[in-house]
Chain A
Amino acid sequence: MRRRRAHTANPLGWLVPDLIRLGAVLTRADDLAAMTVLDEHKQVITLGSLWRDKPAVLVFVRHFG
């Protein structure tokens, strides 16, 4: 199975380069599963529900512009 690195969040702020993230690898979505997002009706969606029944592709966009 092909795998690629996903880095953990940079705790030092938005101007600090991401070099400190190297070596940190997310392999499980457990930390994400209980987190929530909102739909257009402001309904709360639990992320873990998205991959409960089928594989999920989460496409994070930079912004909506």
Chain B
Amino acid sequence: MHCREHVVQLHHRIEELHATGAEIYVIGNGSPSFIDGFREETGWRGAIYVDPSLEVYKAAGLKRGVLKTFNLAAGIRSIGTLRRGIKQGRTQGDPWQQGGVLVIDRAGEIVWAHASGGPGDNATADQILTALRPAA
């Protein structure tokens, strides 16, 4: 549920994000066949890719673990998400893999990164915009 909510939030700010000169790419794990359904549910019009092997997730330093998925903080954030009317769909991908955000400039420098500590621990559009302004 948090994944969808995160992408929907970014979708609502996409014009601001593009105004920095950057492009936004969503990367998930699992099968490419999952992409169409996720696009339909989120309204995301930009590129969506998958990393079925999780090798990119690993190289990016993103976290993975049962206790990252199930913990008190994640539970509290899940309650908040449910109260906002967003429900969990069927998990499509690795349930223990956590997400994150990398902001990379044209020189290949990672100017900002967020490795999610668990469900709902997502980088906000404002954080990404702040990171992008010097990168653009």
A33 touches B108 (CB 8 A): yes
Q: Mostly helix, strand, loop or mixed at chain A's interface?
A: loop
A7 to B24 CA separation, bound complex (whole angstroms): 21
From known contacts A2-B130, A29-B110, A50-B23, infer whether A63 and B103 are also in contact, taking CB-CB under 8 Å: no
Interface residue from B26, B49, B93, B110 paired with A38 (Cβ < 8 Å): B49
A32 to B51 CA separation, bound complex (whole angstroms): 12
B101 touches A59 (CB 8 A): yes
What residues of chain B have their CB less than 8 Å away from a CB belonging to chain A? Answer: 1-4, 6-7, 10, 17, 20-30, 32-38, 47-52, 55-69, 88-106, 108-116, 119, 123, 128, 130-132, 134-136
Q: For residue B102, which residues in chain A have a CB less than 8 angstroms away from its CB?
A: 6, 29, 32, 57-58, 60
Counting chain A residues whose Cβ lies within 8 A of the other chain, the interface size class is 35 or more
The 0/1 profile, CB within 8 Å of B marked 1, for residues 3-29 of chain A is 111111110001111100100101111
Q: For residue B56, which residues in chain A have a CB less than 8 angstroms away from its CB?
A: 32, 35, 37, 47, 60
Q: For residue B63, which residues in chain A have a CB less than 8 angstroms away from its CB?
A: 7, 10, 18, 21
A9 to B64 CA separation, bound complex (whole angstroms): 9
B59 touches A57 (CB 8 A): no
A3 touches B111 (CB 8 A): yes
B22 touches A63 (CB 8 A): no
Interface residue from B28, B61, B103, B131 paired with A7 (Cβ < 8 Å): B61
A51 to B119 CA separation, bound complex (whole angstroms): 27
Q: For residue B134, which residues in chain A have a CB less than 8 angstroms away from its CB?
A: 1-2
Q: A53-B106, A55-B135, A64-B89 are in contact. List 13 more A-B contacts (CB 8 A).
A: A10-B63, A14-B65, A15-B66, A15-B67, A40-B33, A50-B23, A55-B23, A57-B23, A57-B128, A59-B6, A59-B123, A60-B60, A62-B3
A37 touches B50 (CB 8 A): yes
A15 to B102 CA separation, bound complex (whole angstroms): 24
Q: For residue A5, which residues in chain B have a CB less than 8 angstroms away from its CB?
A: 113, 115
